[in-house]
Amino acid sequence: MSNQFFGQYLLEKGLLSTQQLLIAIKLQKEANPPLGELAIREGFIDKSAASRINSEQQRTDMRFGELAISLQLMTEQQVSLLFHTQKEIKKFFGEIVVEQGFMTQSSLSEQLETHGALKKLSLDHIDSSIKQHVYCEQITQTLDAIIKNFTRIPKIHVQVSQVEPQQPELLPDHVIISQTAQIPDQVKIGWVMDRPLMKQLATNFLGIDASDNEALYIDATSEFLNIILGNALASNHSGDDQTHLEPPLIELPEDNIQGSYDNGFYLSMSAGQDMFSVFFIYD
């Protein structure tokens, strides 16, 4: 499965129990403290200064270390010492699993190789306008999750066609499916698909003919998007973060939604003979 947290991958393969997974997550957190915690531990700042930096972080895009320097709460030297310490004590999930005796080193290496191969970015080429986009990482992860999940769907091969300068025209046969996520800014991600492609996708996804059942093929297409976005967001989160993803929203061109889809980032993708559009709309 693509974009999967390594611990979850081991759990599903039956190589770790839920208890072992929880222990390993806890130990990994202890071995990878955030910069603020290390700074307090080293006596560079106190808790109230750390809280001040944290609350400033909510309002800016700056990292903890950068803010600490700009607020003159720490020197550059102190921050680089903390980065060094952080690197020294950092432990990978796999290391902890072996240290705890949950797996042998050879079994871990074997699983890391399989998991690594699954995680390898499947986008052979990324358009330069995606690379330059402020949300390049999220867009790339979403496209990666789209391509990887589509490989599970028989007979539909997808690839990125091109970045579109503006929102593609909505036709009467189109259905727009989207979900809102916080990553951490609010973004609406979705796709515009025509019904023949949705019918084919749903039929191949479910393994039963869904083409005559409108509710089922729309539902299957939106659930497929939900899986893709859930997977993409899983690879975009770390540490304590829980994912904030709203359920799918289904809209039709006649719902007069044109205005709400302005000012987004649009890509067209090919799925065999068909095309569909993927969009990212940031607040």
Q: Which residues bind another protein (CB under 8 A)?
A: 1, 3-5, 7-8, 11-14, 18, 21-22, 25, 149, 152, 202, 205-206, 208, 215-216, 219-220, 222-223, 226-231, 233-234, 236-243, 245-247
| Alpha helix stretches (DSSP H) within 14-151 | 18-31, 35-41, 47-59, 64-70, 76-89, 93-99, 105-119, 128-131, 136-150
Give me the least distance between CB of 220 and another protein, in Å please. Answer: 4
**Burial class for 39, CB neighbours closer than 10 Å (0-12, 13-18, 19+):** buried
Q: For residues 66 and 246, which CB has a smaller minimum distance to another protein in the complex?
A: 246
Give me the least distance between CB of 183 and another protein, in Å please. Answer: 11
| Cβ-based neighbours of 19, under 8 Å, separated by 6 or more | none
Please identify which residue in the block is written with the tokens 């072996």: 98
Give me the least distance between CB of 249 and another protein, in Å please. Answer: 10
Q: For residues 18 and 55, which CB has a smaller minimum distance to another protein in the complex?
A: 18
Count Cβ atoms below 10 Å from residue 126 Cβ, excluding itself: 16
Q: For residues 113 and 241, which CB has a smaller minimum distance to another protein in the complex?
A: 241
Cβ(274)–Cβ(197) under 8 Å? yes
Total count of residues recorded for the chain = 283
Give me the least distance between CB of 49 and another protein, in Å please. Answer: 26
Give me the least distance between CB of 27 and another protein, in Å please. Answer: 12
Q: For residues 90 and 131, which CB has a smaller minimum distance to another protein in the complex?
A: 90
Q: For residues 1 and 81, which CB has a smaller minimum distance to another protein in the complex?
A: 1
Half-sphere exposure of 27 (CA within 13 A, CB side): 17
